[in-house]
Structure 1
Amino acid sequence: MYWINGEPRQQLPLTDRAIQFGDGFFTTARIRTGRIDLLSYHLERLAQSAARLLFDPLDLAVLEREMRQAAEQWRDGVLKVIISRGSGGRGYSAAGCGMPLRILSHGEAPPHYPLWRRQGVNLTLSPVALACNPLLAGIKHLNRLEQVLIRTRLEQTAGAQEAVVLDTRGYVTECCAANIFWRRGSEVYTPTLEQSGVAGVMRRHIIALSTGSPFTLHLVDALPAALLAADEVIICNALMPVLPVNRFDERIYQDRTLFEYLRPSC
């Protein structure tokens, strides 16, 4: 089921800029028993994306009400919120566009995540690199062709459930559909995401949990060798929400100290 600007609809005009140019952004939230996990983070992320992409300001009160109503109706699963600039403008110009279009949809929660949470996952190094662009870094915009290529190549790789993705400088950035953290001793690291990648809401939650924890968190630019030297690696997104990593190519991890610390709060 889809809602568009608060009404049950499943059609967009072909002139919509989300279709024409990928001119928009989105967030994907987990619904449990009618409530949205990390709702305030999702709303802040949408507002920040609108500002970064020079959209008209979102009516967050309306959007929050629609998200809550959708969650109460659907009860469990996944709520996806897409914001399109709508129709208007000439060519790439956004002049003449009206208020942003709000598209809400529901899906089932990925059934494999609970199994992966118990068993852990294997990672491989993706041959597809992310372009560096600080103007778009961190935003979950609608231009996801890099992720499509990463996933397509990953599906051709036996024995790996996710891929470590580098940027074009060679630094660890994220996974195809997850952020990544690694630990060495009591030091925990995650990519800065200043040049590329998606700043996920679960990543933000884990960063917040690090305050007052036994761990010291560092935002870094790091080469893949840092993962090979780590005691532990985890990946996360709003739906997983956090998974332990068993292997990165030939490197095997057996320590789950950070994962066990985070698990009750994620």
Structure 2
Amino acid sequence: MTSVWVNHVEQGRISPFDRGLAYGDGVFATMRTACAHQTAAVLYMDLHLQRLQQSSQRLGIQWQANDLLIDQLLSLAKAYPDHCIKLVLTRGEGGRGYQAPDIAKLTEVVSVHPIPSHYAQWQQQGISLATSPIRLARQPLLAGMKHLNRLEQVLIKTQPLIANTQDWLVLDTDGWVIESSMANIFAIKEGQIFTPAMTHAGVSGVMREQMIDQLLTAGFAVTTKPLRYEDICSADHIFITNSLFGVVDVNTIDQFQFSRWTLTSRFRQVLSVDLP
């Protein structure tokens, strides 16, 4: 049984009238735990909580992580090293139809999950992507957030993957490259590094932001801008990032092949995301 806490109550229940269930009215974070130098930690916890707070504010939800939640996350990191902690925040019950209540009683759901075992192999060998036939809608009011409305990703994942591919490359309805179904994407061409803008669709992940910071610190030029399919497929190297597998090379997209970047492993070490 998955370990789960609802408002700090172990194996607690969520109301069938919760707005997260009824409307996807909320946000979530997926965080990795680690144990380094005998110290347990939630990797980049402060950044995950800051993003949750900022995303909540964009939805009109007033929330900030309190000491009880932070202590719980740190305790779980100690009990479950090299695991995934998922934190879901909803507006709770109330309101008339879609209209939100004037005063919200929020719901926090914390659960612990193992990290998929194949992620370590992905780090070592890289993966292949195929272009998804399903495209993301453009909605700047929600772009960048990890909100609970994930039906587009559900539809993408219901499509059977092409043989010898591990994930989908996802474009938006105007044909701009956005991400993979579960990660942000970077392209390297002639020493320049590019990543798609998240102004109209997609999720701006914590690991994406950390990777950009580390690349800039290392002296690389990083450009965030709209990218077309041909921009990605003409690159020399491609890699993807998320909070669980860190940084993974992309070997192929459809019929296009890429050499693995020689510095991928180095940046995984800098970011403390190597999997055992």
Q: TM-score, normalised by structure 1?
A: 0.95
Give runs of aligned pairs for residues 69-218 of structure 1, distance below 5 A: 69-153=75-159, 155-218=160-223
Q: Distance in 1 between matches of 2:174 and 2:154?
A: 20
List aligned pairs for 1:245-256, cutoff 5 A.
245-256=250-261
Aligned Cα root-mean-square deviation (Å): 1.4
Q: How does 1:27-106 map to 2 (within 5 A)?
A: 27-33=29-35, 34-106=40-112
Cα deviation code 1:152-210 (max 9, x no counterpart):
12x34222111111111110001100000010122100011000000101001101102
CA contact (8 A) 1:89 1:97 kept: no
1:27 partner SS: strand
Q: Is the 8 A contact 2:249 2:260 kept in 1?
A: no
State whether residues 186 and 214 of structure 1, in contact with CA within 8 Å, keep that contact through their aligned partners in structure 2: no
- Compute the displacement of 1:65 (Å): 2.3
Contact (CA 8 Å) 1:183, 1:258: kept in 2 or not? no
8 A Cα contact 1:243 1:259, kept in partner: yes
Q: Indicate yes or no: 2:17 matched with 1:15.
A: yes
Contact 2:193 2:221 (C-alpha < 8 Å) held by counterparts: yes
Q: Is the 8 A contact 1:86 1:97 kept in 2?
A: no
Unaligned 5+ residue runs, structure 1? none
Alignment deviations for residues 90-111 of structure 1 (CA, whole Å, 9 cap, x no partner) = 1111124433211100000111
Rounded to whole Å, the distance in 1 between the matches of 2:258 and 2:81 is 36
For structure 2, the residue ranges without an aligned partner over 5 or more in a row are 272-276
How many correspondences in the alignment?
265
CA contact 2:28–2:89 (8 Å) conserved in 1 = yes
What CA distance in whole angstroms lies between the structure 1 residues aligned with 2:173 and 2:239? Answer: 23
Distance across 2 between alignment mates of 1:244 and 1:59: 34
Which secondary structure state, in structure 1, belongs to the residue aligned with residue 173 of structure 2? coil
- Give the whole-Å Cα distance in 1 for the aligned partners of 2:135 and 2:202: 10
Q: Tell me the CA shift for residue 258 of structure 1.
A: 4.2
Per the TM alignment, residue 256 of structure 1 is displaced from its structure 2 partner at its CA by 1.2
Match of 1:226 in 2: 231
Aligned partners of 1:219, 1:194: CA distance in 2, in Å? 10
Paired with 1:208 and 1:99, the residues of 2 have a C-alpha distance of 36
**8 Å Cα contact 1:235/1:242 also seen in 2:** yes
Identity in percent: 35
Separation in structure 1 between the aligned mates of residue 59 and residue 161 of structure 2, nearest angstrom: 34
4+ residue runs over 4 A deviation: none
Question: CA separation in 1, counterparts of 2:96 and 2:130?
Answer: 43
For 1:193 and 1:163, locate their aligned partners in 2 and report how far apart those are by CA, in whole Å: 18
User: SS at 1:257's partner residue?
Assistant: coil
Distance in 2, matches of 1:8 and 1:84, equals 18
Question: 1:159 is matched by which residue type in structure 2?
Answer: N
User: Structure 1, residues 55-96: CA drift from partner, whole Å, max 9, x if none?
Assistant: 023244343222212222323311000001111111111124
Query: Paired residue for 2:274?
Result: none
Distance 2:81 2:267 in 1: 25
TM-score (norm 2): 0.92
**Structure 1 residues 35-69: Cα deviation after superposition (integer angstroms, max 9, x where no partner):** 11111111111111111110023244343222212
* Amino acid corresponding to residue 59 of structure 2 in structure 1: L
Are the counterparts in 2 of residues 232 and 254 from structure 1 also a CA contact under 8 Å?
yes
Moved more, 128-137 or 89-98: 89-98
